[in-house]
A and B are shown apart, each in its own frame.
Chain A
Amino acid sequence: MHELALCEGILQALEEQAKIRHFARVHAVWLEIGVLSSVEPEALRFNFDVITHGTLAEGSRLEIVTVPAQAWCLPCGGKISIQQYFDACPQCGSHQLQIVEGEELRIQQLEVE
């Protein structure tokens, strides 16, 4: 989807952090991407290379940690794993789910110099 905009967000965060944490180069970036966030990892990698060209993160490695989706089923109270928003609770069949994990779009950590 909007992988280009996300990569611009990542680069802005890296530039901000470079000033705060005093580093000049970024060698690797770890991202947590929830399976429900509808981010396509290959598109993200492609855009990341394009966006970081000529910046402090040029040539850096992108490590994507996929976060599985978990939800509370409101009617039966079970904590369940889902793959999609429209999945039903495997125990009671309800769609009234409260998503607790799987929507992440986070920068976890960096390897810097």
Chain B
Amino acid sequence: MMCTVCGCGGGEAKIEGHDHHEDNGQHRHGDEALPAHVHAPGMEGRRMVQIEQDILAKNQRHADANRRYLAEQGIFALNLVSSPGSGKTTLLVRTVEALRHRLPVAVIEGDQQTGRDAERIRATGVPALQINTGKGCHLDAHMVGHGLEQMQPLAGGVLFIENVGNLVCPSAFDLGEAHKVVVLSVTEGEDKPLKYPDMFHAADLMLLNKIDLLPYLEFDVHACIDYARRINPKLAVLQVSATRGDGMAAWLDWIEKGAGLARHDRDKVLWERKAALEQELAVLQSRLGDAN
């Protein structure tokens, strides 16, 4: 890539972080044409600054904080994503009904408008918090962080985050979850993984929902799974029908295994945090000792 910064020849533009460019071996001094913007008249006082920052850096900081909190609580968090109408909320209702007597379960519901989905979850006796994104097409980690603060899901349980129905935008926003689970229903096209590859690339599990309807449809299950695995060879796939119950046992088993691991890792995470705090304490004590 050509360096477009270079005001270096004449030395009139001070460029911070310029070493980065010199290090990559692609930057030659003195023999390239200087970009016009550096020398154009009336532009004194202008300078270039290198920042090299991810656009989503802020979301990532919030996501990292959420992930740390969830790990310390031993909570297994799943980010459920799909297009609108995949049957995600019905699947979730059936899932929490089956799990709530075995594990602490909590749900964060993301929708652009209304509290209807959270009400559907609460009707099962499971705590649910609705986040309305308004114009926003996805949940972000900052919203979820506030959601966690507010609802304080029980340690050692499962947190389902039902994202806004949208197969595009939520793929880019890490919420701090353990896994993204993409729900695709067989009433949609089997080529959806190819049309919306980002989400299938970001997910770890695909739930192929509404399989009770397969006899009435021309949906090629094998082709769909093949398309999804072209994008993500490691993608796990479970075929389910939330209304009839097919495949639900395997899905519940997958969740319980993950929750077991999160509980198991919690002690390790807490020990690591304790060690880090002790180290920090030792540093502060030695500094206080120096001051005295």
* Partner pick for A95 among B1, B5, B53, B233, CB 8 A cutoff: B233
Q: Are B233 and A109 in contact (CB under 8 A)?
A: no
Per the CB 8 Å criterion, the residue count for chain A at the interface is 36
- Most interface-central of A10, A17, A23, A107 (chain B CB within 10 A): A107
A76 within 8 Å of B (CB atoms): no
Q: Are B198 and A30 in contact (CB under 8 A)?
A: no
* Partner pick for A109 among B50, B58, B227, B232, CB 8 A cutoff: B50
Interface residues of A in 47-81 (CB under 8 A from B): 63, 65
Q: Mark A1-40, 1 if CB is under 8 A from B, else 0.
A: 1101110011011000100010100011011000011100
* A interface residues (Cβ-Cβ under 8 A, vs B): 1-2, 4-6, 9-10, 12-13, 17, 21, 23, 27-28, 30-31, 36-38, 63, 65, 84-86, 88, 95-96, 105-113
Give bound CA distance, A16 to B171, whole Å: 26
* Partner pick for B197 among A84, A88, A110, CB 8 A cutoff: A84
A-B contacts, 10 of them at CB < 8 A, read: A1-B172, A2-B168, A9-B56, A9-B58, A10-B55, A21-B16, A85-B200, A85-B201, A85-B232, A109-B5
With A21-B49, A63-B4 known as contacts, the answer to whether A28 contacts B58 (CB < 8 A) is no
Q: Are A1 and B169 in contact (CB under 8 A)?
A: yes
Please name the residue on chain A nearest to B228 by beta carbon. Answer: A86
- Most interface-central of B16, B194, B197 (chain A CB within 10 A): B197
Q: Are B198 and A112 in contact (CB under 8 A)?
A: no
B215 within 8 Å of A (CB atoms): no
Q: Can you add 20 more A-B contacts, CB < 8 Å, to A5-B140, A86-B231, A112-B49? A: A1-B172, A2-B168, A2-B169, A2-B172, A13-B53, A13-B55, A13-B58, A17-B49, A38-B168, A84-B197, A85-B232, A96-B233, A106-B52, A106-B55, A109-B50, A110-B51, A111-B37, A111-B48, A112-B47, A113-B46
